[in-house]
Amino acid sequence: MMFAASEHDANLYYAVKFVVPDPFLFFRVRGRSHIVLSDLEYDRARKQAKVDRVERLSDWAARAKAKGVERPTAADVAALFLKSHGVRKTLVPQDFPLGFALAMRKRGILLEAKSDPFWEERVLKSRGEVALIRQSLRHTESAIHRAEDLLGKSVIRGKRVYHRGTLVTSELLKRVINVSLMENQCVANHTIVAPGDQGCDPHCEGSGPIAAHRSLVVDVFPRSGETLYFADITRTFVKGKATEALKRQYEAVRAGQQVGLDRIRAGANGKGIHQAITEEMESRGYRTERKNGVLTGFFHGTGHGLGLEVHEAPRINSSDHILRAGEVVTDEPGLYYPGTGAVRLEDLVVVTKTGNENLTVYPKKLEVR
**Cβ atoms 35, 55 nearer than 8 A:** yes
85-103 pLDDT, tens digit each: 999 999 999 999 999 999 9
Whether 123-368 and 2-118 are alike in CATH topology: the answer is no
CATH topology of domain 2-118: Creatine Amidinohydrolase; Chain A, domain 1 (3.40.350)
228-239 pLDDT, tens digit each: 999 999 999 999
Residue 75: CB atoms within 10 Å: 21
Q: Is the pLDDT of residue 267 over 90?
A: yes
Report d(CA 326, CA 129) in Å as an integer: 10
pLDDT band at 247 (very low <50, low <70, confident <90, very high): very high
From the number of C-beta atoms within 10 Å of its C-beta (0-12, 13-18, 19+), residue 222 rates as: buried
pLDDT of residue 54: 98
69-89 pLDDT, tens digit each: 999 999 999 999 999 999 999
**Cβ atoms 323, 266 nearer than 8 A:** yes
pLDDT of residue 338: 97
pLDDT of residue 198: 98
Dihedral over Cα of 251, 257, 258, 260: its sign: positive
Report d(CA 89, CA 105) in Å as an integer: 10
Q: Is the pLDDT of residue 116 over 90?
A: no
Residue 22: CB atoms within 10 Å: 12
pLDDT band at 160 (very low <50, low <70, confident <90, very high): very high
163-209 pLDDT, tens digit each: 999 999 999 999 999 999 999 999 999 999 999 999 999 999 999 99
Give the Cα-Cα-Cα angle 291, 293, 294 (nearest 5 degrees).
65
**Cβ atoms 298, 218 nearer than 8 A:** no
Element (H, E) at 2: strand 2-4
Report d(CA 249, CA 339) in Å as an integer: 12
Percent residues over pLDDT 90 in the chain: 98
* φ/ψ bin of 326: left (φ > 0), alpha (ψ from -120 to 50), beta (otherwise): left
Residue range 326-354: mean pLDDT, rounded: 98
Q: What is the β-pairing status of strands 155-157 and 110-114? A: unpaired
Q: Is the pLDDT of residue 127 over 90?
A: yes
Q: Is the pLDDT of residue 305 over 90?
A: yes
Residue range 322-335: mean pLDDT, rounded: 98
pLDDT of residue 284: 98
Report d(CA 44, CA 32) in Å as an integer: 20
CATH superfamily, region 123-368: Creatinase/methionine aminopeptidase superfamily (3.90.230.10)
**Cβ atoms 209, 336 nearer than 8 A:** no
Percent residues over pLDDT 70 in the chain: 100
Element (H, E) at 193: strand 192-195
Could you tell me the pTM of the whole model? 0.95
Residue 224: name the closest of 326, 309, 311, 119 by CA.
Answer: 309
Mean pLDDT for the chain? 97
pLDDT of residue 121: 95
Q: Is the pLDDT of residue 134 over 90?
A: yes
Residue range 274-284: mean pLDDT, rounded: 98
Show me where the domains of the chain are located. Answer: 2-118, 123-368
